Amino acid sequence: MWKTDRVARGDGQLNHDLLPGEKGPQDACGVFGVYAPGEEVAKLTYFGLYALQHRGQESAGIAASDGERLLVYKDMGLVSQVFDETSLGMLSGHVAIGHCRYSTTGGSTWENAQPTLGAAAESTIALVHNGNLINSAQLRRQIEKGEGGAAAHPELRRGNTTDTALVTALFADASGTLEERALQVLPQLRGAFTFVFMDEHTLYAARDPQGIRPLVLGRLERGWVIASETAALDIVGASFVREIQPGELIAIDPNGLRSRRFAEPDRKGCVFEYVYLARPDTSIAGRGVYESRVEMGRALAREHPVEADMVMPTPESGTPSAIGYAAESGIPYGSGLVKNAYVGRTFISPNQTIRQLGIRLKLNPLREVINGQRLVVVDDSIVRGNTQRALVRMLREAGAVEVHVRISSPPVRWPCFYGIDFATRAELIATGLDVAEVCRSIGADSLGYISEEGMIAATRQRPDQLCTACFTGTYPIELPEAGDLRKNVLEVPRDETSVPTS
């Protein structure tokens, strides 16, 4: 495994967030795997991760094996910063896995970057993970009681504080082939997980029984691909075969693909993947994310109509819903803001003058388009409200006579324990304020959120097969006691509210 100092370090700022320091919902990783003898598997993985970069920008890593030697290369930063021709050239073989990571606070370190490494009887294990386990504290206690305790496991010894390192250790502590070990360990895990893992010969993938995060299987002419999103299959030229089913473990080796069920499926897909997290060109459970977002905009127009001159999105995440709102309402669609897509990725710390520019660092209003107009501004969600407040102010300063804000998800009132990092409950604006108060707080002329029913209908999924916990507070996987759910459960005293994610 390599640790380098020569690449630029990531600042985690390349994201959809429009206001510096004002984090939107953060996904917790993209995973990718490929089994393809005769192909440059590390390069395929590189481009797969490139397509999944929106799911995590803090670190990236790839493991590859030629059947005898399994190597890992990982570092902090974007996929394009971590890898170059030389590093990819070292990762030769026929099987590879890759990861791009977003972490919760405190966990963005090289030690926590993935893939993680462990040892089985006569093989090496490399593992990547998207999601978040909710029984990490219990799993850690179990490992500590085992022979040699946590210190027996290199990742934990090195200071890796993620749930992924725990699963790697559990695989190492189990017995038999890696497939047999996985079948022993996976039923013990609670929470959201999509794993892609490998030894020197075989590629594996597994998805939690609720299928909270997406994971799909694709086919290359000479092999197989696993990815968090269908968009990553498209980018490497793989055709979509099917989803990895909730509760399913698959293995791919020279004998082909085999599937085992390690738990009964109880599907509860994350509705927020449709609202915001996934790429618009991805499909989840047979439904296109872009079409879902357009339909959410249409539903918003029916539920919260208003007289206005122009519908515009908060770029880019509000765009499909704004298109839907405009189509349904008959109000013309327009762009009132231009986004500077690259400014977020700066390695220069902003001074006070720059910081005060706030949202202007990322968005520039088109005054000639906005001046004198009654605007409908469509966004995907409101977390703390600071972004929308700054946006409304900017539009008024550019001459808007009315600003009506429409949101294509219901108010976010509850934290996510399944791999998405929102603000804390106290920071969520909708926890303390009703809709009229939020409207006043952000300075809009009116505010309308889509209903839960409208959002769910747009996904074309059965309501009982979706997780909507951050909107409803009803968690589909029973949560352990609060003390075991705090942030950085493996590294700090019990005073916070979620666990480190992978």
123 carries a ligand binding annotation: no
The CB-of-498 to ligand SF4 minimum distance in angstroms stands at 11
379 carries a ligand binding annotation: yes
**Interface with ligand SF4 includes 296 (CB under 6 A)?**
no
250-276 burial, b for 16+ CB within 10 Å, e for fewer? Answer: bbbeeeeeeeeebbebebbbbbbbbbb
> Of 470, 485, 490, 499, which lies in the binding site for ligand SF4, with binding defined by CB under 6 A?
470
> Considering only 41-49, 100-108, 142-150, 267-275, which stretch makes contact with ligand SF4 by CB under 6 A?
267-275
The CB-of-297 to ligand SF4 minimum distance in angstroms stands at 19
**Interface with ligand SF4 includes 469 (CB under 6 A)?**
yes
**Interface with ligand SF4 includes 420 (CB under 6 A)?**
yes
100 is catalytic: no
- In this structure, are strands 466-467 and 269-270 parallel, antiparallel, or unpaired? parallel
- Record the tokens describing residue 396, joined without a space: 């008024």
**Interface with ligand SF4 includes 73 (CB under 6 A)?**
no
Phi, psi (5° rounding) for residue 399? 110, 5
Q: Is 47 helix (H, G, I), strand (E, B) or coil?
A: helix
**Interface with ligand SF4 includes 212 (CB under 6 A)?**
yes
Give the footprint of ligand SF4 on residues 173-192 (CB under 6 A).
none
**Interface with ligand SF4 includes 133 (CB under 6 A)?**
no
**Cα–Cα separations (whole angstroms), residue 421 to 27, 216, 302, 318, 373:** 7, 23, 31, 20, 36
**Interface with ligand SF4 includes 78 (CB under 6 A)?**
no
Q: Is the CB of 128 or the CB of 420 nearer to ligand SF4?
A: 420
Q: Is the CB of 173 or the CB of 379 nearer to ligand SF4?
A: 379
Q: Is the CB of 369 or the CB of 458 nearer to ligand SF4?
A: 458
**Interface with ligand SF4 includes 468 (CB under 6 A)?**
yes
**Interface with ligand SF4 includes 300 (CB under 6 A)?**
no
100 carries a ligand binding annotation: no
Q: How far is the C-alpha of 54 from the C-alpha of 491, rounded, in Å?
A: 27
**Interface with ligand SF4 includes 26 (CB under 6 A)?**
no
**Interface with ligand SF4 includes 270 (CB under 6 A)?**
yes
Element (H, E) at 117: strand 116-119
Q: How far is the C-alpha of 293 from the C-alpha of 408, rounded, in Å?
A: 8
Size of the site for ligand SF4 (CB under 6 A): 11
User: Considering 14, 28, 29, 225, which one is annotated as catalytic?
Assistant: 29
270 carries a ligand binding annotation: yes
- In this structure, are strands 239-243 and 256-261 parallel, antiparallel, or unpaired? unpaired
Contact between 471 and 413 (Cβ < 8 Å): yes
Question: Shortest CA distance to 4 belongs to which of 99, 90, 73?
Answer: 73
380 carries a ligand binding annotation: yes
The CB-of-269 to ligand SF4 minimum distance in angstroms stands at 8
Q: Is the CB of 50 or the CB of 102 nearer to ligand SF4?
A: 102
Question: Shortest CA distance to 94 belongs to which of 130, 69, 119?
Answer: 69
- Range 274-278, long-range pairs (CB < 8 A, 24+ positions): 274/455, 274/458, 274/459, 275/380, 275/381, 275/408, 275/409, 275/455, 276/16, 276/24, 276/25, 276/317, 276/380, 276/381, 276/409, 277/25, 277/27, 277/55, 277/420, 278/214, 278/229, 278/231
- In this structure, are strands 95-101 and 30-35 parallel, antiparallel, or unpaired? antiparallel
The CB-of-230 to ligand SF4 minimum distance in angstroms stands at 18
234 carries a ligand binding annotation: no
**Interface with ligand SF4 includes 271 (CB under 6 A)?**
yes
Contact between 210 and 192 (Cβ < 8 Å): yes
> Considering only 69-77, 112-120, 365-373, 466-474, which stretch makes contact with ligand SF4 by CB under 6 A?
466-474
> Which residues are near ligand SF4 by CB under 6 A?
212, 270-272, 416, 418, 420, 467-470
Residues assigned a catalytic role: 29
- Show binding-site residues for Mg(2+): 317, 379-380
